Amino acid sequence: MHAQDKVVDPNEVVLWSDDYEGHDVISTRTFGFWMYVLSDGMLFATLFAAYGVLSYSHSYYTGPTPAQFVAPWYTFIQTMALFLSVLAYGFAMTALKSGSKAGVVNGIIASILLGGVFLGLNIHDVLRMISIGVTPETSGGLSAFYALTQVHAAHIFIGLIWMLVMLYQIMRQGFTEDTVGRLISLRMFWQFQAVMWVFIYIFVYLWGYMS
Amino acid sequence: MLVNVPGPWSPLLGRLALSEIPYTNPILAPLFIVIVLAGIVLIAGVTYYGKWGYLWKEWFTTVDHKKLGIMYIILGLIMLFRGFIDGLMMRTQQALGDGPGDNGMKVMGAIHGYLAPFHFGQIYSAHGLIMILLAATPLLVGLMNIIVPLQIGARDMAYPYLNALGLWITTAAVFLIMISLFVGDFSHNGWFGYAPIFELAYSPGVGVDYWIWTLELVALGTTLGSINFLATVVKMRAPGMTWGRLPVFTWTAVSANIIALTSFPCLQVALALVGADRYLGTHFFTAGFGGNLMLYTNLFWLWGHPEVYFVILPAFGMLSEVIPAFSEKPIFGYITMVLASFAIAGVSWIVWLHHFFTMGMGPYVSTEFSIATMLVGIPTGVKVFNWAFTLYRGRLTFSAAMLWSIGALFLLLIGGLTGMMLAIPAINYMVHNSVFVVAHFHMMLLCIVYAVFSAIIFWFPKIYGFKLNEAWGKIMFWLFSAGTFLVFFPMFMLGFMGETRRLDWPFNPQWGPWFDVQEIGIFVYILSVLAFLWMLYVSIRDRHANRVHTADAWGTSRSLEWLTDTPVPFYNFAMVPHINALDEVAWRREHGFMDKKPDHFKAIHMPNNTPIALYIGALTFLVGFGLTWRVWWLTLASLILAVILMIYRSNKGDPGYIIPAEKMEEMDRESKARMLSDDSHQVPHGGGFSGGTVTAYTALDRDASGSLTPPNDSRHL
Ligand code: HEM
Ligand SMILES: [Cu+2]
C-alpha cells in the first residue's frame, strides 16, 4: 500500500512536538564522553600494537629486555594504589547518589592521594630504570615500553588535575547539572585508565618479566 | 632526553633564524608581498566599514552550527585553491622538465623545469596533505555541521562550544601549513611520509616537524568533531525521528564519524611516535637500533584507508539527497543504502595493506587483503545501482546541482573500477607507485569534490535565502569536467607507460605530449575557477531576483531541513517538528501540510557565544609552531595557558539564555514575513511522498458529510 493512498486527517495529525522538553543534558554528555573513551581505547590499542611489534628479541637491539629491568612486585603496589583510587572514587559516587557533599569531597581526596601514590611510584620507577641505563633511546623495544607506560601515566596525571578541578567546583558550586555530569564522566575516565592499566600490567610487566 | 639538532639553536628563538625566511625565492617573496598587501587591504576595509564588532560578535565567537559550518566551508574552499595552485605548479614542472638532458630554466637551482627537486618535493607533500585533510575534510565537516542538526530537527549540535573548538583548531592547522611557505620549509616526504627518511638524520630541517604538527592538529579537530556529530544524532533527534526515518545524508554522517572517531587516534599515535623519534631520540621507526620501518607504514594506513572512506561516505550522502530531489522520487532502496554505508565503514578497517602489497608479506596475507578490498565493491555497487534506480523513470531536472551529482557518479565508476584493478596484487605489483595509482585516487577524491559542489549549490539557498546562478554553475561544471578529463585521462595513460609518481624530472620524451595535454587541462581548470568566482559574483549581485520565497527552495526537496524558514533562523525551528515519515517534507507536501504553522510556541534555550574556543585554537597554533621550531618556552606557555583557559571555562560554565515563547512567536512571524511573497503558495509540480505528483497543497478537510475532501482552492493534477 502506498503511503499517499492513506488520507491523513488534518485535525488529528501531529506536526509539532508540543511536549518535547529537549534532550537530556547529562545523558548527552555521558554519551559523548563514552565516545571519547572509545577513541582513547583506540589510542591505547595502537600503542599496544606498536609495543607488540617492537617486542621481538631483535627489537631490543643489544640493550636489556624487560625481563632484566621490570619489577612486577613493585608495579603490583602501583596496581593496588590505582585500584584503591578507583574504589575511593566509587565511594564518592555513592555519596553523590545520597547527595552528600562531604562524602563526595572525601572520596575524591582519597582518590587523588592514591592516584598520587601511583604516579609517584611510577616516576620513581622510571628514575630507577634510567639510572641503570634503561632509557627510551636505547632500542626500539624500550621506546615502545616507555611510550605505552608513560602515555598511561600522562592520562593519570590529567585525571588528577581534573579531580582537583572537580573538588574546587563542588565546593564552590555544589551539585549542578554541570558538575554532576562531569563527575560521571570523570568516573568513566578513571575506571577506563584502571582497565588499561590491567592490560599494561599483564602484557608489559608480567609477560615481560616472564619472557 | 632531547636530541641535539644540527645547526644553531637558541633558548629564546629555538631554530628560528632570519636565514629561514626565503626572501630571495622568486616565487615566495612576491607571493608574500601580495598576501601582506591583501591582508592590509582586508584589515583596512573592515576597519573602514567598522565591521570588526560584527565579525567578532557574529563569527569569531559564535557557537552557531550553521555559521561554524560556513566558516569550515570557506576554509576548505581557500585550501582547495591553495592545493590547486600546488597542482598547477607540479603539472607545469613536468611539462617543462620532460625529456633528456638538462632542460632547466636555471632559476632557483633547477636543472630540469623551473623547480629544484627539493622544492618539488615540498609541493607534492603539501598538495596531498592539504587536499585530503585541509580541503576535503573541512568542506565535508562544514556541510555536515550545517545540515545534520537541521535534518534531525535539532537546534544546534550537542556541544556547540566543542564545535567551535574543532573549527579553530582546524584553522590553526591551516595557519601552520601556510606559514611553512614563508618561514622555513615544508616536508618533502610525501603526504603520508616515508620511514626512515623522515627521521632527523635524513630530514634535519623543520619540514617534517611542520608536517607532524599540522596533521596532529587536524586530527585533534576532526576527532572532537566526530564525537559531537555522533552525540548529536544519537541524542538530539526530534520526536518521531526514528532511526528508520533518518535521512541518508545523516546516516552517512554517522557512519563516517564512527570511522573518524576510531581511526584518527591511530594517526595521532603514529605521528606522535615519529615526533618522539625526532625530538627524544627514540627508535620506533629508525633503520637500526631495533626500530621497525614497516610499523610506521602499517600504523599510517591503518588510519589512512578508513580515512578515505571517512571522506567519501558523506559525499555519498550528498548524492543521496540531491538525486532524489531532482528525480522527484524517494531514494531507491533506503535500507540497503544505510546498510551499505555501514558495510563500507566496517570493511574499510580490514583493507589497509593494499597500500603496500609490494612490501611482500606473502601470498596468503596479500590474498586476504586483496579479497577484503574487493569486498568494498559490493556495497559501493549497491549504492551506485540505487542511485541509478532512483534516476530511472524519475522526472529529472538537470539543474547545476544535479549535473555535479551525475558527474560524481561517473568519476566514482572509473575510480572504483581502477581501484578494483589495484586490489589485485598481480596488477598492483606492476602499477604500484605509478601515476596510475595517482589517477585512481584522484577520480575518487574528485568524486567528493563534485558531490561537495553539488551540495553547496543545493543547500546554498537554504542558508542564504537566494539561489546561486544556474547558468554559471553549469558552465563551471562543464569547464571543470573538461579539465578533469584532460588532466586525468592522460595520467592513466602515463601510468600504463610506466611513469612513476612524484618525478621532478620525467625523463622519457615519449611522455611529453601527454604532459602537454595535462597542462591544457590545468588551464581549463583555471577557467572553471574563474567561472566559480563569477558565479558567486553574479549570484550575489542578483540576489534579490533570485530570492527564495518558500521553505522548500527547490519545490521538490524531501528531508527535514527544508521545513524551516529560508534562510534558516538562528534557532533553526521555531517549534521542534514532530516527524511522521521518512522524507518528512515530501510527506507534508503530499498531504498539504507545508503551510501549516505551529499555533503556539514555547520558550527555548540557546547557548551563549564565547571567544574562548578562538583563544584555545590560537594557542594550539602556537604550540604547533613552538614545537616545530623547538621554542620550548613558547610551547609550554601556550599549552599551560590553553589548559588554564579550559579550566576557567569549565568553572564558569555556560548558563545559556532563554528566549520566551512570545518572543519566539514574534520572531517566527517576522521570519515568515521576510520569506513569503505572493507567489509562494504556488502548487509544486511534483515530488510527492512516493514519487507521484502532489495532489493537494492545502490539507484535506472534512465536509458536512464527514468525508475528507480537498478545499476548493487547491489544484488537482
Ligand atoms: C572511496 C574512495 C577512495 C578513495 C578516496 C581512495 C583513495 C586512495 C588513495 C589516496 C590511494 C593512494 C595511496 C598512496 O599510494 O598514496 C589509494 C590507493 C589504492 N586504492 Fe583507493 N580509494 C578509494 C576507493 C577505493 C576502492 C573502491 C578500491 C578498490 C575496491 C581502492 C583500492 C585501492 C588500492 C588497491 C590502492 C593501492 C594502490 C597502490 O598503492 O599500489 N580504492 N586509494
Ligand atoms: Cu586504501
> Are the Cβ atoms of A50 and B295 closer than 8 angstroms?
yes
> Are the Cβ atoms of A3 and B590 closer than 8 angstroms?
yes
Residue located nearest, by CA, to atom 31 of ligand 1? B419
Give the three cell numbers for residue B627.
614545537
Find out whether B326 and B457 touch, Cβ atoms under 8 Å.
Answer: no
Nearest by CB to B235, which of A31, A50, A143? A31
What is the per-residue pLDDT for A39? 96
Nearest by CB to A42, which of B265, B282, B284? B265
What is the per-residue pLDDT for B466? 94
Whether the per-residue pLDDT at B714 is higher than 90: the answer is: no
For residues B636-654, b (16+ Cβ closer than 10 Å) or e, as one string? Answer: eebbebbeebebebbeeeb
Q: Could you tell which of B194, B354, B448 is best to mutate to test the pocket of ligand 1, judged by most ligand atoms within 8 Å of the CB?
A: B354
Between residues B550 and B686, the one the model is more confident about: B550
Whether the per-residue pLDDT at A206 is higher than 60: the answer is: yes
What is the per-residue pLDDT for A2? 47
Q: Could you tell which of B430, B435, B437, B449 is best to mutate to test the pocket of ligand 1, judged by most ligand atoms within 8 Å of the CB?
A: B437
Give the three cell numbers for residue B512.
611529453
Residue A5 lies in a domain: no
Secondary structure string (H, E, C) spanning B304-369: HHHHHHHHHHHHHHHHHHHHHHHHCCCCCCHHHHHHHHHHHHHHHHHCHHHHHHHHCCCHHHHHHH
**CA–centroid distance, residue B305 to ligand 2 (Å):** 4
Between residues A21 and B441, the one the model is more confident about: B441
Whether the per-residue pLDDT at A4 is higher than 70: the answer is: no
Whether the per-residue pLDDT at B715 is higher than 50: the answer is: no
Q: Average pLDDT of A15-27?
A: 87
Least confident of A12-16, A197-201, B202-206: A12-16
Secondary structure string (H, E, C) spanning B148-161: HHHHCCCCCCCCHH
Q: Is B353 left (phi over 0), alpha (psi -120 to 50) or beta?
A: alpha
Please name which of A175, A73, A148, A172 lies closest in space to residue B276, comparing C-alpha atoms.
A148
**CATH number reported for the structural domain that contains residue A45 in this entry:** 1.20.120.80
Chain-centre distance for alpha carbon B413? 21
Residue A7 lies in a domain: no
* Tens digit of each residue's pLDDT (9 = 90 or more) over B371-395: 999 999 999 999 999 999 999 999 9
Residue A97 lies in a domain: yes
Residue A6 lies in a domain: no
Residue A10 lies in a domain: no
Residue located nearest, by CA, to atom 11 of ligand 1? B441
Strand B701-702 vs strand B708-709: parallel, antiparallel, or unpaired? antiparallel
Handedness of CA B487, B493, B499, B500 (dihedral sign): positive
B652 CB within 8 Å of a chain A CB? no
Q: What angle do CA B229, B129, B284 make, to 5 degrees?
A: 95
Distance (Å, whole) CA B112 – CA B119: 12
Its pTM stands at: 0.94
Give the three cell numbers for residue B370.
586483496
Whether the per-residue pLDDT at B681 is higher than 70: the answer is: no
- State the average pLDDT for chain B: 92
For residues B348-368, b (16+ Cβ closer than 10 Å) or e, as one string? Answer: bebbbbbbbbeeeeeeeebee
A21 CB within 8 Å of a chain B CB? no
Distance (Å, whole) CA B583 – CA B161: 30
A27 CB within 8 Å of a chain B CB? yes
What is the per-residue pLDDT for B697? 56
Percent of chain B past pLDDT 70, that is, above it, reads 95
Whether the per-residue pLDDT at B171 is higher than 90: the answer is: yes
How many CB pairs below 8 Å do chains A and B form together?
181
Give the three cell numbers for residue A147.
611510550
Whether the per-residue pLDDT at A137 is higher than 70: the answer is: yes
A7 CB within 8 Å of a chain B CB? yes
Assign A13 a pLDDT band (cuts: 50, 70, 90): confident
* Tens digit of each residue's pLDDT (9 = 90 or more) over B297-313: 999 999 999 999 999 99
**CA–centroid distance, residue B350 to ligand 2 (Å):** 10
Q: What's the DSSP call for residue B658?
A: E
Q: Average pLDDT of B341-365?
A: 93
Q: Could you tell which of B427, B440, B445, B492 is best to mutate to test the pocket of ligand 1, judged by most ligand atoms within 8 Å of the CB?
A: B440
Distance (Å, whole) CA B641 – CA B652: 16
Hey, which residues 151-170 in chain B have their CB within 8 Å of chain A? 154, 158-159
Residue A200 lies in a domain: yes
What is the per-residue pLDDT for A3? 47
* Tens digit of each residue's pLDDT (9 = 90 or more) over A65-101: 999 999 999 999 999 999 999 999 999 999 999 999 9
Residue A2 lies in a domain: no
Assign B683 a pLDDT band (cuts: 50, 70, 90): low
**Closest ligand, as measured to the CA of B376:** 1
The domain containing residue A129 runs over which residues? 27-210
ipTM of the complex: 0.95
* Tens digit of each residue's pLDDT (9 = 90 or more) over B453-500: 999 999 999 999 999 999 999 999 999 999 999 999 999 999 999 999
Assign B695 a pLDDT band (cuts: 50, 70, 90): low
β-pair partners for B605: B658
Residue A205 lies in a domain: yes
Q: ω before B567 within 30° of 0 (cis)?
A: yes
* Tens digit of each residue's pLDDT (9 = 90 or more) over B568-626: 999 999 999 999 999 999 998 888 888 888 888 999 999 999 999 999 999 999 999 99
Ligand 1 atom having least distance to the Cα of B445: 5
β-pair partners for B577: A16
What is the domain count for chain A? 1
Helix/strand number for chain B, H first, E second:
21, 4
Q: Which chain A residue is nearest to residue B582, measuring alpha carbons?
A: A3
